[in-house]
């Protein structure tokens, strides 16, 4: 048992690092390499190699991948500062809101036209996958272009953070709707009333507010007391436990665990663990790094693993993927209208918001595991098409952004 487990982990880590390196050298974000390596490993069956097929149904690997997503969102939360989030300019907020609403509507429409047999929850998941801009990928590209300090970059990054948060709230609402539909007998997606929708929105808002307010208050106190412990590893252990407990709570109230993980990360600030820093411990980001660098790629590799290349042999699926990609790009171009300042290149803003990433993948992954009336919300082919869209939007952004920046 343990032999297979460690070999699989070693294989995934090697694949992730090699894939990341390869794509990094091609000027692409490493996360794309992890996805591509996953696609490769998951489709070895095409070459007659079936040794990895059992991984497809491994409950253990699924849990590890989900913990990877939880740690990723926690890390993103730790790196984003609550005050900075609140101080994000009105432009960023407007850009973000437009950038969520437009792709959501467009995605819903495309999905309901091309997948008429699916329920409205499916269309909602397709739309939801299109909403969130990838902070990580955008930031990395802007930095690589040496444009991280332009006004455009600041607006894009602020908006990307904001629409990650909005995306998480959307995810909380949508997954709450599915849970509610499942609880009401699972008898089709139509059985969720406006009352329960409202209740989920209120619950999500309440949870996030409480997590941030109560979490901030408590985390400070807990850290002060924990700093009195002398046993090694208290800081990193405490941070992870904090993340795990808040995400479990968010799971128990019917929201996605990653929502709680992000909230936990946002709450945690360096002042809280100042006593640990004073006795020479490293920063939380540094302590988390060896853990996240190993577990987070499991999530991306396994997401790629689940892409079924054979499904792209169907023109219908390819057409859906192509159309949803066009919609993903077009939907974010409206963002430029949200900019209030003068002298800002609105095209740059629109292009900079194109890449979808972690949150989109989490959306798609969740949609493909939630089962309603015996069928997954997102069928395997729809899932594959959405992952392809996420990869394509990420692939085209770096060269496109370079072109529009240089055009001026």
- Do 25 and 36 contact (CB within 8 A), yes or no? no
- Which residue among 102, 236, 389, 392 contacts a copy of itself (CB under 8 A)? 236
User: 206 vs 241, which CB is nearer to a copy of itself?
Assistant: 241
Residue 222 interacts with a copy of itself (CB under 8 A): yes or no: no
- Which residue among 116, 195, 232, 280 contacts a copy of itself (CB under 8 A)? 232
Residue 241 interacts with a copy of itself (CB under 8 A): yes or no: yes
User: 53 vs 286, which CB is nearer to a copy of itself?
Assistant: 286
Residue 313 interacts with a copy of itself (CB under 8 A): yes or no: no
- Which residue among 89, 186, 188, 237 contacts a copy of itself (CB under 8 A)? 237
Contact set for a copy of itself, span 66-125 (CB under 8 A): 66-67, 70
Residue 198 interacts with a copy of itself (CB under 8 A): yes or no: no
Residue 218 interacts with a copy of itself (CB under 8 A): yes or no: no
User: 288 vs 339, which CB is nearer to a copy of itself?
Assistant: 288
Contact set for a copy of itself, span 257-276 (CB under 8 A): 257
User: 19 vs 167, which CB is nearer to a copy of itself?
Assistant: 19
Contacts for 333 with CB less than 8 Å, ≥ 6 apart: 350
Compute the distance between CA of residue 388 and CA of residue 321 in angstroms, rounded to an integer: 7
Residue 30 interacts with a copy of itself (CB under 8 A): yes or no: yes
- Which residue among 44, 291, 318, 334 contacts a copy of itself (CB under 8 A)? 291
Residue 293 interacts with a copy of itself (CB under 8 A): yes or no: yes
Residue 359 interacts with a copy of itself (CB under 8 A): yes or no: no
- Position of tokens 């128990």? 252
Locate 207 and state its tokens. Answer: 């949870």
Residue 376 interacts with a copy of itself (CB under 8 A): yes or no: no
Residue 182 interacts with a copy of itself (CB under 8 A): yes or no: no
- Which residue among 46, 205, 213, 245 contacts a copy of itself (CB under 8 A)? 245
Contact set for a copy of itself, span 48-77 (CB under 8 A): 59-60, 62-63, 66-67, 70
Point out which residues bind a copy of itself (CB under 8 A). 1-7, 9-10, 13-14, 16-18, 20-21, 24-25, 30, 59-60, 62-63, 66-67, 70, 229-234, 236-238, 240-241, 244-245, 247-248, 251-252, 257, 287-291, 293-294
């Amino acid at each position: 048992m343990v032999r297979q487990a460690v070999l699989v982990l070693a294989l995934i880590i090697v694949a992730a690092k090699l894939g990341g390196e390869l794509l990094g050298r091609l000027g692409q974000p490493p996360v794309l390499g992890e996805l591509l390596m996953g696609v490769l490993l998951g489709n070895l069956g095409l070459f007659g190699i079936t040794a990895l097929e059992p991984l497809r149904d491994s409950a253990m690997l699924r849990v590890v991948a989900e913990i990877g997503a939880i740690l990723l969102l926690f890390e993103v939360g730790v790196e984003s500062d609550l005050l900075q989030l609140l101080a994000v300019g009105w432009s960023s907020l407007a850009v973000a809101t437009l950038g969520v609403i437009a792709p959501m509507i467009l995605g819903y429409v495309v999905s309901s036209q091309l997948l008429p047999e699916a329920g409205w929850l499916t269309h909602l998941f397709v739309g939801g996958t299109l909403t969130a801009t990838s902070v990580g990928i955008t930031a990395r590209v802007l930095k690589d272009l040496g444009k991280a300090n332009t006004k455009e970059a600041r607006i894009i990054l602020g908006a990307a953070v904001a629409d990650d948060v909005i995306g998480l709230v959307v995810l909380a609402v949508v997954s709450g709707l599915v849970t509610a539909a499942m609880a009401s007998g699972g008898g089709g997606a139509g059985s969720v009333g406006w009352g329960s929708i409202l209740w989920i929105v209120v619950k999500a808002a309440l949870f996030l507010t409480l997590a941030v307010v109560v979490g901030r208050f408590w985390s400070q106190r807990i850290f002060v007391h924990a700093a009195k412990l002398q046993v090694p590893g208290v800081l990193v252990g405490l941070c992870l436990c904090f993340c795990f407990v808040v995400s479990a709570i968010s799971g128990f109230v019917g929201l996605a665990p990653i929502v709680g993980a992000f909230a936990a990360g946002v709450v945690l600030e360096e002042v809280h663990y100042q006593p640990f820093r004073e006795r020479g411990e490293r920063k939380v980001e540094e302590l988390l790094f060896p853990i996240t660098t190993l577990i987070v790629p499991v999530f991306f590799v396994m997401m790629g693993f689940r892409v079924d290349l054979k499904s792209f042999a169907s023109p219908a699926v390819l057409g859906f993927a192509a159309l949803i990609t066009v919609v993903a790009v077009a939907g974010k171009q409206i963002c430029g209208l949200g900019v209030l300042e003068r002298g800002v290149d609105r095209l740059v803003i629109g292009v900079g918001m194109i890449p979808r990433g972690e949150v989109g993948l989490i959306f798609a992954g969740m949609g493909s595991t939630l089962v309603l009336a015996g069928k997954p919300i997102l069928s395997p082919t729809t899932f594959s098409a959405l992952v392809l869209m996420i990869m394509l939007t990420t692939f085209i952004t770096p060269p496109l952004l370079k072109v529009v920046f240089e055009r001026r």
